[in-house]
């Protein structure tokens, strides 16, 4: 360990090369949301029309925040807590808030990797276990719950989660999920055992492999029947949808969460850079690659969704063809999928009563494409179902789940770094304790906390954490970050910092965004988000075989005690911001008052007051 020539601060570990750093930032930013959240938003918000508010949010909100975080981390060369303490002791709570959010996000995020491992292990079976229903206990027929729903739904809700009817019924720990969760945390620990030295090696695989798999999926998906229908749906814009303010709110939150700002990981990663490095170019590159990946991932996803919709549409029509063929006693192959519409029009004209009595199913391709899903629903239900219909389904299932694991793992690096770097920078742990042990303790605590997600009600708790931990707290942290740098540290000082690092001062666009546009967007998004949430009663979808409309999910409001936990998850991570500021102000006031009482008029450092009597004597 030595000193850096420029700043005189203790030497930090450094990336082996610039590629390692960029791959780590890209891997952290590009996560599961790029694959299963962005395509969903495109699907429900008018296809290509969604790209307009998305790109506007990227330019005026995402990139300025990303640039700001990479710049302050690189200049001050500390983790989140150290950075904000250096800018102002009153902002020390911002770093603690970032660390807490990063820890909480890491807890539920790694649970997804546990589910992915479970599906990956089962992808080696032939046939795939979610392709058919299991037999019932008496071995006299198929499982009733599976027959009422689908094999894919049954495997997810019963075989994987063994889900309870509601969040109040906890259920026991599912041993298979506990093993998968422990395995996921072990993989994270192994990759992180040497800090950025081992992470830097791991990202060569975790950050690049998803692009290889996406490319393979793209080539395969474009050859599937119905792929063009899905792509037409993706790229056909519905301009009317832009009048809906919810579209703009979702676009802003998507780009914000997608870039992984405000959770401390990016600040930590950039702190291991050389001080003289063009962080502006890095921010633009990472931001554009992240958004390009979202669009690139949408193409194979929509092509496969188009294939799935076409398969379901053809099955629907074949069911109607069978009913018509049996009733009118036509010979086989007389009515086909290709001439079905012509035959139906003819029979409606000649025998309308008989056709009406058959109660044929209404088959519409657009309706099947409109069946949207995001998150776990897209990965473990919709995509798993589509894979079954593809030739060589085991290969595609293995590739898909390995890709998801790589995406999630590279994002986990940032979440853990966002916790470890502040702990190391604050020297909260004695030097004689090795870093490997500190990392192990953090991973163990996270694993034990995450056991709540392996219960029968675990998926309900996962949705609570997913919906509320990474929403309001991150928006509040970002608002304090940009305000702290620009208005506490000062735009002029920040300007000089960037000039010192890059040799160029930020242009008028960056200054306008940092000083006015980005804080304003963040404030509007935060207020709008809180207003939207306040107007709706928090509810969740349950999987209940006893529900009268099963296999539809039953929507229930959260119990009051769960609602109280939701409030805590939103408040606790950011309560440190006012508490630390208040603590520092009180300490400052106490020091000032004690300094005043310590003044002694008879010591050389005090002020001597000459009385009139002394003046006369001197005269």
Closest listed residue to residue 22, CA positions, set 207, 163, 148, 171: 207
What is residue 164's DSSP assignment? Answer: -
**Does the residue 608 lie in any domain?**
no
Known binding-site residues for Na(+) equal: 27, 29-30, 34, 258, 290, 407, 411
**Does the residue 529 lie in any domain?**
yes
**Does the residue 290 lie in any domain?**
yes
Q: What is the CATH number of the domain that holds 332?
A: 1.20.1740.10
Q: Given pLDDT bands bounded at 50, 70 and 90, which one contains residue 8?
A: very low
Residue 21 has a pLDDT of 94
How far is CA 7 from each of CA 63, 81, 379, rounded to the nearest angstrom?
Answer: 27, 19, 48
Residue 597 has a pLDDT of 56
Q: Domain span at residue 179?
A: 21-597
Sign of CA dihedral 468, 470, 475, 477: positive
Give CA–CA dist 506/176, Å, rounded. Answer: 53
pLDDT surpassing 50 at residue 2: no
**Does the residue 616 lie in any domain?**
no
Q: Given pLDDT bands bounded at 50, 70 and 90, which one contains residue 432?
A: confident
Residue 262 near residue 481 (C-beta atoms within 8 A): yes
Closest listed residue to residue 161, CA positions, set 115, 227, 196, 218: 115
Q: Could you give the 3-state DSSP secondary structure of residue 555?
A: strand
Q: Cβ contacts of residue 37 below 8 Å, gap of 6+? A: 254, 258, 374, 375
Q: Given pLDDT bands bounded at 50, 70 and 90, which one contains residue 9?
A: very low
Residue 374 has a pLDDT of 63
pLDDT tens string 293-344: 999 999 998 888 888 888 888 888 988 888 888 888 888 778 888 888 888 8
**Quick check: bond before 127 cis, omega within 30?**
yes
Known binding-site residues equal: 27, 29-30, 34, 258, 290, 407, 411
Q: Could you give the 3-state DSSP secondary structure of residue 350?
A: helix
Strands 554-557 and 539-542: antiparallel
* Pick from 84-88, 100-104, 385-389, 463-467: least confident: 385-389
Give CA–CA dist 320/322, Å, rounded. Answer: 5
Mean per-residue pLDDT, 231-258: 85
**Does the residue 5 lie in any domain?**
no
pLDDT tens string 599-609: 555 544 444 44
285 HSE (CA, 13 A, CB side): 15
Question: 380: how many CB neighbours lie within 10 A of its CB?
Answer: 27
DSSP E strands: which ranges in 258-315? none
H or E element at residue 517: none
371 HSE (CA, 13 A, CB side): 17
pLDDT tens string 460-480: 999 999 888 878 898 899 999
How far is CA 226 from each of CA 11, 111, 221, 311, 459, rounded to the nearest angstrom?
Answer: 57, 34, 9, 8, 33
Q: Given pLDDT bands bounded at 50, 70 and 90, which one contains residue 119?
A: very high
What are the helix (H) ranges across 163-244?
A: 175-192, 196-206, 209-222, 227-235
How many domains, the chain?
Answer: 1
**Does the residue 215 lie in any domain?**
yes
pLDDT surpassing 50 at residue 3: no
Closest listed residue to residue 120, CA positions, set 404, 398, 454: 398
Mean per-residue pLDDT, 354-373: 81
How far is CA 352 from each of CA 344, 346, 581, rounded to the nearest angstrom?
Answer: 10, 9, 77
Give CA–CA dist 91/578, Å, rounded. Answer: 9
**Does the residue 76 lie in any domain?**
yes
What is residue 330's DSSP assignment? Answer: P
Backbone angles phi, psi at 557, to 5 degrees: -75, 150
**Does the residue 123 lie in any domain?**
yes
H or E element at residue 546: none
Give CA–CA dist 100/94, Å, rounded. Answer: 10
Q: Could you give the 3-state DSSP secondary structure of residue 390?
A: coil
């Amino acid at each position: 360990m030595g000193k850096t020539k420029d700043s005189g601060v203790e030497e930090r570990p450094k990336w082996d090369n610039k590629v390692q750093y960029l791959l780590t930032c890209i891997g952290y930013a590009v996560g599961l949301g790029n694959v299963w959240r962005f395509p969903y938003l495109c699907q429900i918000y008018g296809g290509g029309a969604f790209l307009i508010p998305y790109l506007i949010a990227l330019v005026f909100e995402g990139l300025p925040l990303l640039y700001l975080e990479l710049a302050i981390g690189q200049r001050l060369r500390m983790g989140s807590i150290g950075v904000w303490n250096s800018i102002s002791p009153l902002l020390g709570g911002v770093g603690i808030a970032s660390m807490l959010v990063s820890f909480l996000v890491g807890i539920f995020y790694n649970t997804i990797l546990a589910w992915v491992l479970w599906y990956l292990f089962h992808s080696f079976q032939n046939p795939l276990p979610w392709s058919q229903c299991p037999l019932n206990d008496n071995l006299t027929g198929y499982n009733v719950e599976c027959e009422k729903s689908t094999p894919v739904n049954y495997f997810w809700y019963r075989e994987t989660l063994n889900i309870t009817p509601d969040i109040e019924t906890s259920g026991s720990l599912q041993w298979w999920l506990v093993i998968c969760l422990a395995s996921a945390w072990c993989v994270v620990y192994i990759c992180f055992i040497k800090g950025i030295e081992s992470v830097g090696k791991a990202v060569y695989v975790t950050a690049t492999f998803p692009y290889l798999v996406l490319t393979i999926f793209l080539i395969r998906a474009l050859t599937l029947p119905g792929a063009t229908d899905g792509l037409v749906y993706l790229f056909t814009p519905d301009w009317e949808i832009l009048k809906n303010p919810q579209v703009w709110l979702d676009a802003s939150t998507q780009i914000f969460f997608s870039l992984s700002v405000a959770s401390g990981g990016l600040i930590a990663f950039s702190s291991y850079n050389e001080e003289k490095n063009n962080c502006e170019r890095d921010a633009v590159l990472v931001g554009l690659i992240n958004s390009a990946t979202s669009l690139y991932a949408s193409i194979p996803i929509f092509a496969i969704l188009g294939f799935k919709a076409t398969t379901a549409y053809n099955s629907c029509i074949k069911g109607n063809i069978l009913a018509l063929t049996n009733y009118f006693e036509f010979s086989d192959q007389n009515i086909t999928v290709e001439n079905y519409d012509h035959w139906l029009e003819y029979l409606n004209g000649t025998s309308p009563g008989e056709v009406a009595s058959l109660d044929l199913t209404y088959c519409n391709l657009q309706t099947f494409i409109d069946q949207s899903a995001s998150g776990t629903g897209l990965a473990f239900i919709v995509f798993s179902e589509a894979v079954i219909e593809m030739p060589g389904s085991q290969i595609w299932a293995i590739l898909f789940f390995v890709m998801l694991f790589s995406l999630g793992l590279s994002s986990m690096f940032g979440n853990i770094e966002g916790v470890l770097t502040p702990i190391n920078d604050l020297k909260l742990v004695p030097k004689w304790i090795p870093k490997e042990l500190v990392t192990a303790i953090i991973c163990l605590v996270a694993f034990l906390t995450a056991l709540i997600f392996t219960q029968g009600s675990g998926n309900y708790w996962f949705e609570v954490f997913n919906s509320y931990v990474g929403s309001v707290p991150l928006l509040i942290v970002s608002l304090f970050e940009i305000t702290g740098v620009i208005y506490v540290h000062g735009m002029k000082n920040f300007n000089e910092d960037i000039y010192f690092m890059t040799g160029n001062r930020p242009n008028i666009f960056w200054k306008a965004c940092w000083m006015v546009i980005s804080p304003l967007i963040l404030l509007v998004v935060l207020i709008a988000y809180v207003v939207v949430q306040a107007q709706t009663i928090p509810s969740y979808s349950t999987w209940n075989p006893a529900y009268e409309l099963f296999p539809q999910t039953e929507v229930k409001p959260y119990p009051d005690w769960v609602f109280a936990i939701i409030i805590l998850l939103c408040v606790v991570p950011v309560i440190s911001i006012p508490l630390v500021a208040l603590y520092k102000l009180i300490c400052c006031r106490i020091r000032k008052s004690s300094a005043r009482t310590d003044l002694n008029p008879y010591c050389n450092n005090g002020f001597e007051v000459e009385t009139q009597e002394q003046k006369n004597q001197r005269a």
